[in-house]
């Protein structure tokens, strides 16, 4: 196939599924903005036509008018001619350099171009992906955006992200709950994102760039950037301090249901909000949690204390019978303060255990004090601390621990928060 041009731009395709590698002709590709004569290019011929129209020497069809009205103000005039001149000049030999993001934020695709050169015909480029390459037609919208028509005919708008390749370790992909002077829910896919202001129900889209501990959020117009300094707190929290001096804490908040089991940031959760299906039955305390308990028991023994598990795994059916017996004895309202409804007991997870004695007589014993002071060193947290009944849904239990693994147990303990607060979830029966 014969084409005027082409120098190669090395393009690194940074993510996502692409694209037929076959290079096809441009016979029925969509037209670019400004392509008045419909030849698949925006060049000086189109500018001549627009000039003739402005001076009343020619008429446009509706299709031509739509192409000529580049700034979309229902008029084809000298402003459009100025915009077209920019496109024509930019299309002459300008290759994209740096990192660009496809406008389709669901796809979240990023391209890093090492730079390159076009030729006089300047709007057709070849992109190399290592073992495949593809021709595409580029038309500049402004210095920070261009349209591109891929060889399969799809048109995408690419927006400038920055000079450097994206560092994937920096991406904050996922859902975050933001709390500060405003309450927001962030949904971030790669470097594209949006946040919903939960008080006004207004959604704002943004792109962001991370440079060390500095974050630049851009929304709307290209140069409309706000800036925040990042202070990482722990695995699931970062603090942002915005340019206007306000600060905001982001809590990672990815909730997934897999086979009826709820995972928050990958942590299996059973509380009053989130229940386990009756079919979830690990058959006992999970091996990792048991090994951690054994290590903790040995350490307590060196301090002259004896720890044992007085209640570990409880099946759905066992919990159902236990809860019903408490309801019969004390009534439902009271039973709900100390016993979980079936499916809602953390004991069904295989990750929770009661130590020595499940009752207030355990409070303030030497064993209870040792447990509170040291259990996080072995990967456990005290799950229902004193004074947090409104948050956890349970009264203080000095004997009930939950296995989280050492790093996370230490983070939760250091935060002084309950697991519900740490993960920004609640624990309230919905029925
Ligand atoms: Zn318990």
DSSP-assigned letters across all residues of 119-174: -TT-SEEEEE-SS-EEEEEEEEEETTEEEEE-TTS-EEEEEEEESSPP-GGG---E
Task: Please indicate, yes or no, if residue 258 is contained in any of the structural domains.
Answer: no
Annotated catalytic residue, options 134, 346, 397, 420? 397
Task: Please indicate, yes or no, if residue 247 is contained in any of the structural domains.
Answer: yes
Predicted confidence (pLDDT) at residue 97 exceeds the cutoff of 60: yes
* Residues 204, 287 within the same domain: no
Task: Please indicate, yes or no, if residue 431 is contained in any of the structural domains.
Answer: no
Q: Tell how far the Cα of 338 is from the centroid of ligand 1, in angstroms.
A: 9
pLDDT of residue 221: 56
pLDDT of residue 117: 37
Q: Give the contacts of 215 (CB within 8 A, at least 6 positions apart).
A: 208, 209, 227, 228, 229, 230, 240
Domain count, the chain: 3
Task: Please indicate, yes or no, if residue 311 is contained in any of the structural domains.
Answer: yes
Q: What is the pTM of this model?
A: 0.71
pLDDT of residue 34: 85
* Residues 277, 212 within the same domain: no
What pLDDT, in 10s, does the model give residues 142-158? 777 888 877 787 778 88
Predicted confidence (pLDDT) at residue 370 exceeds the cutoff of 90: yes
pLDDT of residue 100: 79
- pLDDT (mean) for 297-304: 98
pLDDT of residue 24: 28
Domain boundary among the residues 223, 252, 281 is at 252
Lowest mean pLDDT among 41-45, 73-77, 234-238, 284-288: 41-45
DSSP-assigned beta bridge partners for residue 4: none
Report d(CA 46, CA 44) in Å as an integer: 5
Report d(CA 303, CA 354) in Å as an integer: 20
Task: Please indicate, yes or no, if residue 139 is contained in any of the structural domains.
Answer: yes
Task: Please indicate, yes or no, if residue 3 is contained in any of the structural domains.
Answer: no
Q: Tell how far the Cα of 358 is from the centroid of ligand 1, in angstroms.
A: 7
Q: Tell how far the Cα of 275 is from the centroid of ligand 1, in angstroms.
A: 15
- Over its C-alpha atoms, the chain yields an Rg (Å, rounded) of 31
CA 393 to chain centre: 29
Q: Tell how far the Cα of 363 is from the centroid of ligand 1, in angstroms.
A: 14
* Residues 247, 331 within the same domain: no
Q: Tell how far the Cα of 387 is from the centroid of ligand 1, in angstroms.
A: 17
- pLDDT (mean) for 366-383: 98
pLDDT of residue 122: 47
pLDDT of residue 107: 47
pLDDT of residue 223: 61
Instruction: Specify the CATH number for the domain of residue 388.
Output: 3.30.1380.10
pLDDT band of residue 277 (cuts 50, 70, 90) is: very high
* Residues 278, 403 within the same domain: yes
Q: Tell how far the Cα of 304 is from the centroid of ligand 1, in angstroms.
A: 24
Question: If 0-12 CB within 10 Å is exposed, 13-18 middle and 19+ buried, where does residue 306 land?
Answer: exposed
* Residues 28, 141 within the same domain: yes
* Residues 137, 48 within the same domain: yes
Burial 336-367 (b: 16+ CB within 10 A, else e): beebbbbbbbbbbbbbbbbbbbbeeebeeeeb
Q: Tell how far the Cα of 377 is from the centroid of ligand 1, in angstroms.
A: 20
Predicted confidence (pLDDT) at residue 346 exceeds the cutoff of 80: yes
* Residues 200, 215 within the same domain: yes
Residue range(s) defining the domain that contains residue 178: 169-252
pLDDT of residue 20: 27
pLDDT band of residue 109 (cuts 50, 70, 90) is: low
pLDDT of residue 192: 80
What pLDDT, in 10s, does the model give residues 36-66? 988 777 788 899 999 999 999 999 999 899 8
Report d(CA 372, CA 383) in Å as an integer: 10
Instruction: Specify the CATH number for the domain of residue 228.
Output: 2.40.128.50
* Residues 100, 230 within the same domain: no
pLDDT band of residue 313 (cuts 50, 70, 90) is: very high
* Residues 12, 158 within the same domain: yes
- pLDDT (mean) for 400-422: 97
Task: Please indicate, yes or no, if residue 135 is contained in any of the structural domains.
Answer: yes
Q: Tell how far the Cα of 427 is from the centroid of ligand 1, in angstroms.
A: 16
- pLDDT (mean) for 110-125: 53
Start-to-end CA distance of the chain, whole Å, equals: 68
Instruction: Specify the CATH number for the domain of residue 158.
Output: 1.10.1330.10
pLDDT band of residue 131 (cuts 50, 70, 90) is: low
pLDDT band of residue 368 (cuts 50, 70, 90) is: very high
Q: Tell how far the Cα of 356 is from the centroid of ligand 1, in angstroms.
A: 11
Q: Is 9 helix (H, G, I), strand (E, B) or coil?
A: strand
Average pLDDT for the chain: 83
Q: Tell how far the Cα of 337 is from the centroid of ligand 1, in angstroms.
A: 12
Q: Tell how far the Cα of 204 is from the centroid of ligand 1, in angstroms.
A: 43
421 is catalytic: no
Report d(CA 255, CA 258) in Å as an integer: 10
- pLDDT (mean) for 93-108: 66
* Residues 132, 238 within the same domain: no
Regarding beta strands 124-128 and 8-13, do their DSSP bridges make them parallel or antiparallel, or are they unpaired? Answer: parallel
pLDDT of residue 132: 66
Task: Please indicate, yes or no, if residue 60 is contained in any of the structural domains.
Answer: yes
Q: Tell how far the Cα of 233 is from the centroid of ligand 1, in angstroms.
A: 30
* Residues 177, 103 within the same domain: no
Q: Tell how far the Cα of 155 is from the centroid of ligand 1, in angstroms.
A: 58
Lowest mean pLDDT among 147-156, 186-195, 387-396: 147-156
* Residues 137, 242 within the same domain: no
Domain boundary among the residues 133, 162, 191 is at 162
Domain boundary among the residues 122, 137, 162 is at 162
- Residue 57: count other Cβ atoms within 10 Å of its Cβ: 9
């Amino acid at each position: 196939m014969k084409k005027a041009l082409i120098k190669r731009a090395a393009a690194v395709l940074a993510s996502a599924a692409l694209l037929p590698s076959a290079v096809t002709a441009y016979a029925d590709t969509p037209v670019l903005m400004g392509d008045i004569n419909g030849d698949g290019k925006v060049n000086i011929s189109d500018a001549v036509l627009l000039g003739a129209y402005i001076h009343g020497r020619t008429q446009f069809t509706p299709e031509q008018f739509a192409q000529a009205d580049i700034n979309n103000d229902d008029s084809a005039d000298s402003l459009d001619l100025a915009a077209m001149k920019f496109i024509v000049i930019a299309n002459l030999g300008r290759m994209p350099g740096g990192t660009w993001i496809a406008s389709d934020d669901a796809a979240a695709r990023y391209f890093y171009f090492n730079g390159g050169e076009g030729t006089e015909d300047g709007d057709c480029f070849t992109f190399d992906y290592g073992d495949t390459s593809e021709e595409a037609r580029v038309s500049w919208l402004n210095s920070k955006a261009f349209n591109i028509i891929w060889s399969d005919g799809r048109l995408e708008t690419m927006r400038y992200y920055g000079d450097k390749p994206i560092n994937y370790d920096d991406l904050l992909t996922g859902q975050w709950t933001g709390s500060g002077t405003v309450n927001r829910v962030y949904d971030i896919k790669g470097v594209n994102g949006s946040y919903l202001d939960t008080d006004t129900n207004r959604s704002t889209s943004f792109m962001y760039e991370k440079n060390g501990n500095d974050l630049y959020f851009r929304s709307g117009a290209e140069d409309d950037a706000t800036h925040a300094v990042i202070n990482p707190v722990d695995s699931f929290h970062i603090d942002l301090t915005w340019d206007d001096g306000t600060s905001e804490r982001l809590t990672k908040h990815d909730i997934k249901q897999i086979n009826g089991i709820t995972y928050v940031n990958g942590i299996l959760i059973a509380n009053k909000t989130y229940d386990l299906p009756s079919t979830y039955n690990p058959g006992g305390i999970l091996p990792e949690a048991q090994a951690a308990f054994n290590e903790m028991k040995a350490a307590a023994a060196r301090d002259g204390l004896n720890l044992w598990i007085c209640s570990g795994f409880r099946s759905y059916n066992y919990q159902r019978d236990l809860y019903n017996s408490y309801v019969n004895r004390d009534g439902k309202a009271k039973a709900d303060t100390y016993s979980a409804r079936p499916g809602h007991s953390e004991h069904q997870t295989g990750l929770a255990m009661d130590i020595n004695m499940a009752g207030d007589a355990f409070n303030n014993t030497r064993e209870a004090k040792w447990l509170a002071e040291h259990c996080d060193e072995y990967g456990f947290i005290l799950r229902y601390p004193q004074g947090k009944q409104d948050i956890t849904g349970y009264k203080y239990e000095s004997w009930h621990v939950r296995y989280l693994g050492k790093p996370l147990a230490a983070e939760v303990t250091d935060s002084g928060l309950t697991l519900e607060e740490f993960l920004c979830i609640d624990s309230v029966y919905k029925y």
